[in-house]
Amino acid sequence: MKKKIFYFIIFLLTFLFGCKSIEISSYWRDREIKIDGDSGEWNGKTWVVDDYPNMAFGFMNDENYLYLSLTISDRALQRQIAMMGLTVWFDRNGGEEKQFGVRYPVGMEMREMQMERRKFGQNEEHNLDNMPQFPEKFSDDIEIFGPMENEHQLMRIFETGGIEVALRFQSGLLVYEMKIPLQDKGPKPYVIGAAAGSVIGVGIETNKRDMPEGRGERPMMGGGPGGGGMGGRRGEGRGNEPRSGTEGMKEPLKLWAKVKLAIQDSTSH
């Protein structure tokens, strides 16, 4: 009997933790954003998650598009993304269902990295800190999951009809940017299916190919406007970029957030 009660308590705690949800707010796009892997356009619009101090993220939107920025200083996570790829999931109902996803890069960029490292190793004098971590340019291959069940396509970025994505490694930081249509207002086959002012679920994860399984925990994005909880803090420009560090995530990254899309003239601070 005591054992049953113990397992029930563990189940209850797990259930409560899994159901904990943080709502944060996107900013209304008030500036031109070029999808080129440059974080300079995101000054004052990024957040740092307490559980992931080496990663800053930001959301902006207008009536037609959602803009996403990730700036990552953790070297282990950077390598995960290059080798295994990064997938961003969207749930237009505000949950954690993988309805529609975009994977970029698709992974295996490490082949180019290894070639660069072999070239680097041929030099007589070199500094390990300057050893190349990534190829100078990533492939323009992109994978789309959904929106129909079991739908999965590999294509070039320009073939998506509206999605833009870029990844750049610069000064020790890996910067990821995405622009994706919110609604189908023309010849755009891949859209989130949400309107400005609504709440969507956004999941960010590295893939698990040939990697150990995670512990099943799902750290949530925290703090920020519209929600409390796990204590995110806003970046006030380039001075508050994520902390640098070599220790990092050996398990795949997996996090979800409820994102409140802004409406024009809204005060999302």
- How does pLDDT run across 83-139, given as a tens digit for each residue? 889 999 999 999 999 989 999 999 865 455 555 555 545 554 544 445 445 666 788
Distance, in Å, from the CA atom of 74 to the CA atom of 151, rounded to the nearest integer, reads 32
- pLDDT tens for 172-188 read 899 999 999 998 877 77
Is residue 75 predicted with pLDDT exceeding 80? yes
Cβ neighbourhood burial of 132 (10 Å; 0-12, 13-18, 19+): middle
pLDDT band at 248 (very low <50, low <70, confident <90, very high): very low
- Give the chain's mean pLDDT: 74
Rounded to whole angstroms, the Cα distance separating 193 from 90 reads 9
**C-alpha to C-alpha distance for 185 and 208, rounded to whole angstroms:** 35
What DSSP line would sit under the chain, residue for residue? -HHHHHHHHHHHHHHHHHH---EEEPEEP-S----SS-GGGGTT-EEEETTEEEEEEEEEE-SSEEEEEEEE-BHHHHHHHHHH-EEEEEETTSSS---EEEESS-S-THHHHHHHHHHHHTSSS--GGGS--S-SS---EEEEE-SSTT-EEEEEGGGGSS-EEEEEEETTEEEEEEEEESS-SSS-S------TT-EEEEEEEE--TTS----S--PBP--STT--SS--EEE-SGGGPPPPBS----SPPEEEEEEE---TT----
* Mean pLDDT, range 236-243, rounded to an integer: 47
The full set of domain ranges for the chain reads 24-260
Closest C-alpha to 174, from 60, 82, 252: 82
Neighbours of 39 (CB within 10 A): 23
Residue 246 pLDDT level (bands cut at 50, 70, 90): very low
pLDDT recorded at residue 103: 95
Predicted TM-score (pTM) of the model is 0.73
* pLDDT of 150 strictly over 60: yes
For residue 70, the model assigns a pLDDT of 94
C-alpha distance from residue 168 to each of 94, 189, 261 (Å): 29, 26, 26
> Which class is domain 24-260?
mainly beta
Phi, psi of 157 (to 5 degrees): -60, -40
Q: What percent of the chain has pLDDT over 70?
A: 63
Exposed e or buried b per residue across 162-190, where buried means at least 16 C-beta atoms within 10 angstroms of its C-beta: bbbbbbbbeeebbbbbbbbbbbeeeebeb
The tokens for 262 are 């802004």
Amino acid at 183: Q
Q: Is the pLDDT of residue 214 over 50?
A: no
Give the type of residue at 73.
S
Inform me whether the pLDDT recorded for 203 exceeds 70. Answer: yes
For residue range 8-54, list pLDDT tens digits in order. Answer: 444 444 334 444 456 688 999 999 999 999 989 999 898 887 777 88
| CA Rg value for the chain | 19
